[in-house]
Amino acid sequence: MRAEAQLDPRKGSTLGRSLALTVVFAAVQLAAGWYANSLALISDAAHNFTDALALALAWFGNRVAERPADDVKTYGYQRAGVLAAFANALALLGLAAYILYESYRRWLSPRPVHETTMLVVALAGLAVNLVVMRGLDRWRSCDLNIRSAWAHMLGDALGSVGIIVGALLIRATGWQRVDPALSALIGMLIVWTAWDIVRESLNILLEGLPRGMQLETVVRAMREVPGVLDVHDVHIWSLSSTTHALSCHVVIEDVPPSESEGLLRRLNQMLAERFLICHTTIQFEHAACEGCTIPNHRGGGLAERC
């Protein structure tokens, strides 16, 4: 059974608007950070430019994923979004390493900053991040590509909150090392937002078991379908963050094709409803006649009587 991904045209337009807004604000933030001599603002601007890259890759991945399957890409282009998410996460980790290095240098040689500029720009940044996050939130739970872009924006929103607090602390205490300390916290926050995406996208690219799914649970559910004697040689993987696939062998009684067709429909319905597995390749194997033996796939290949 094959099911194509359900694509929402609003997703692309939302990503496009979010990209434009993020690029404009990142340019403003970079100029403000340079003027205020604030590494925290410059780091956050760099994070915002990486957010823009994340949104651009997410937009591109979404556009490519909309292309239908063809004679060469028989599964379609759904993994384009996963590749975009993986590239985004790697870019985040590289950015975090640079920010942490610069934070260390500024900690050793602190420089005076204009805390008022930090405060105003960080407040504006928080507003921009929240607007973009709200636009992407409806697809966050079901699309790894969108979730990677959303994670970028979450990290930057939290970074803006940190800069606001830091600007207030600098104004109250005059301690300039607050700025590089905030930059280090932003760097560690970026690592936190990127790691989960790296892990899940790699799992999909390596055709691992979909996140949150247990192989034995799926096999047990299939064996509970009336008419199924045994299930073996089971493989489950993801075509994208929203589309899962399964192939397996199912042992059934020696029944007419009309009966096995009904069993196949019941299996596919159960897999789709319980596990969101909508692309299946199921090969039936007929049990031997009474008095013969069939392989016991539950018990390591031993034989059992029918």
Task: Based on the fold, state whether residues 258 and 141 are members of the same structural domain.
Answer: no
Distance CA 74, CA 304 (A): 40
- The per-residue pLDDT for 65 is 63
* 295 pLDDT higher than 60: no
Task: Based on the fold, state whether residues 135 and 111 are members of the same structural domain.
Answer: yes
- The per-residue pLDDT for 252 is 92
Task: Estimate to the nearest angstrom the gap between the alpha carbon of 103 and the chain centroid.
Answer: 29
Domain termination site, one of 179, 205, 231: 205
Average pLDDT over residues 282-291: 72
Domain termination site, one of 187, 205, 223: 205
* 1 pLDDT higher than 70: no
pLDDT digits (tens, 9 = 90+) for 70-92: 777 777 777 777 787 788 778 77
Judge whether 210 lies within some domain: no
**What phi and psi values does residue 165 have, to the nearest 5 degrees?**
-65, -40
pLDDT digits (tens, 9 = 90+) for 32-59: 888 888 777 787 777 777 777 777 777 7
* 6 pLDDT higher than 80: no
Task: Based on the fold, state whether residues 253 and 201 are members of the same structural domain.
Answer: no
pLDDT digits (tens, 9 = 90+) for 187-207: 887 787 778 778 888 888 888
* 294 pLDDT higher than 50: no
Task: Based on the fold, state whether residues 194 and 220 are members of the same structural domain.
Answer: no
Task: Based on the fold, state whether residues 45 and 155 are members of the same structural domain.
Answer: yes
Partners of residue 228 on adjacent β-strands: 252
Judge whether 3 lies within some domain: no
Q: How far is the CA of 272 from the CAs of 5, 50, 71, 277, in angstroms?
A: 13, 37, 26, 5
Q: By C-alpha distance, which of 11, 26, 149, 17 is closest to 92?
A: 149
Judge whether 34 lies within some domain: yes
Distance CA 81, CA 63 (A): 9
Judge whether 237 lies within some domain: yes
Domain termination site, one of 176, 205, 234: 205
Reading the block at residue 172, the tokens are 């109250």
Task: Based on the fold, state whether residues 189 and 236 are members of the same structural domain.
Answer: no
What's the whole-number average pLDDT of the chain?
79
Task: Based on the fold, state whether residues 38 and 107 are members of the same structural domain.
Answer: yes
Task: Based on the fold, state whether residues 184 and 224 are members of the same structural domain.
Answer: no
Task: Based on the fold, state whether residues 178 and 288 are members of the same structural domain.
Answer: no
pLDDT digits (tens, 9 = 90+) for 145-180: 677 778 778 877 877 887 888 888 888 888 878 878
Task: Based on the fold, state whether residues 166 and 259 are members of the same structural domain.
Answer: no
Domain count, the chain: 2
Judge whether 142 lies within some domain: yes
Cβ contact 134:189 at 8 Å: no
% of the chain surpassing 90 pLDDT = 17
> Which domain, by its residues, includes 239?
215-305
- The per-residue pLDDT for 293 is 46
Judge whether 26 lies within some domain: yes
Task: Estimate to the nearest angstrom the gap between the alpha carbon of 31 and the chain centroid.
Answer: 32
Q: What is the CATH number of the domain that holds 277?
A: 3.30.70.1350
Judge whether 229 lies within some domain: yes
* 62 pLDDT higher than 50: yes
Q: What is the pTM of this model?
A: 0.62
Judge whether 2 lies within some domain: no
pLDDT digits (tens, 9 = 90+) for 219-266: 999 999 999 999 999 999 988 777 889 999 999 998 887 788 899 999
Task: Based on the fold, state whether residues 185 and 80 are members of the same structural domain.
Answer: yes
Q: What is the CATH number of the domain that holds 120?
A: 1.20.1510.10
Task: Based on the fold, state whether residues 138 and 114 are members of the same structural domain.
Answer: yes
3-state helix, strand, coil in the chain (%, to 5): 65, 10, 25
